Structure 1
Amino acid sequence: MKMKINKSQGKWENGKTVPLILIGIVVVQSTLAFLISYIFQIRFGDGIIYSGIIIGYPCFFWFLISWIRSLRDCGSTLLDFGRPRVEPASILLAILLLPAAVLSLFDMSENGRGTIMGVFLLFIPVTTFIISSGRLQIVENGIWHHATLLKWKDITGYCWTGTENTQLMLQSGKTFFKGAGIPLPVPPEQKAVVNELLQKHLPAGS
């Protein structure tokens, strides 16, 4: 039975989770930067750098651990649609940050601060590379896209969208990523097979 995405659900639904998380991170980082600059009597710009490091390191390692766990949990591949589109702005940012990160790694002044910043700046190129090198696949234990495994048990709905009605939109029930995700392009000739797999793996009437 095909499940429809409920577009009238609360603020954590329909893809609003990620923007809210990003806004929360900005607010937390700004507050932390102010506190650091006030307590240690340093410039606010330096406070932003240190707060970014404090927040960035745990976020990167959380992403890395989640990616490795998702790879391990995928199971066998049922359908492979190739690499999904990555925003050019993200790739450009990664390319621009890469030389800055390398230069910072060789800057050992100020008690190793250059090394800390260099590793921090490497996070975005590495993360972008991991996401852009990933593939859109239907696997044994869920749907793999953008370096993330969305397990069958976490999919609470789906629908088809786009001009040709060939873009698959999934609704996630995950705590921190609840709601409708980004549309995933599916070749028109494989839409029927995808529908069959979705109806097979998703519980009827969910």
Structure 2
Amino acid sequence: MDSTPPEEIHGDKAPPMAPLSHLREPPTTKRGARTRAALVQAARTVFERDGYLDSRLTDITREARCAAGSFYTYFASKEEVLAAVLLEAQEDMMHPGMGRVQDADDPRAVLEASNRAYLEAYRRNARLMALLEQVAQVEPEFREFRGRRADAFIRRNARGIADLQARGVADRGVDPMMASRALSGMVSVMAYHAFVLGERQESQPPTDFEELVSTVTRLWANALRFPGHR
């Protein structure tokens, strides 16, 4: 689970959500592209519904309404179609689109907008994020790749914190990397509990989204000692 406000990775290419080695070259015909897209969408539906371990390739081809043999024209394995599913979703997770900030010079307003965009994207992709956690436990290559991606996000957040420190906005007494690991992890875990675990626990009341955004933003601002947030 990793969290990075969008503008802290803007202009800096983050690692993809899945190993590119699992993917073939895309089809060159329109019909081939349509069939592949249908298989990717069907795979996401099946993986999110049944989980990665219990999903079968026949379930995917049935969902896509295509012949079982067609699958192997575009993908060699379940791992390969999973990589395609994750890579298709990564743009929404990495660059979810932050709403217009009234005062772009207000670090708290920018932080709140960033957190809101990230949490909205996580909520939209909650079942897929749960799937990624499951796969990381059983597929070493995906686990290693996920770790490298998380580390890249943390380093970018650390650079953002260091920039705020240089501007006199953030507490210069904290180590940017350590602060990034703590604060990025906090938002990720909060999102996982709210949108993945919360969905499975009927006895727990649903998380109030606005309260979640407000809480994580306040904790970020307080931890970094933004002016007016002591």
The alignment's TM-score, normalised by the length of structure 1, stands at: 0.29
Greater length-normalized contact order (CA 8 Å, ≥ 6 residues apart):
2
Whose strand fraction is larger, Structure 1's or Structure 2's? Answer: 1
Structure with greater helix share of residues: 2
Name the TM-score, length of structure 2 as normaliser.
0.27
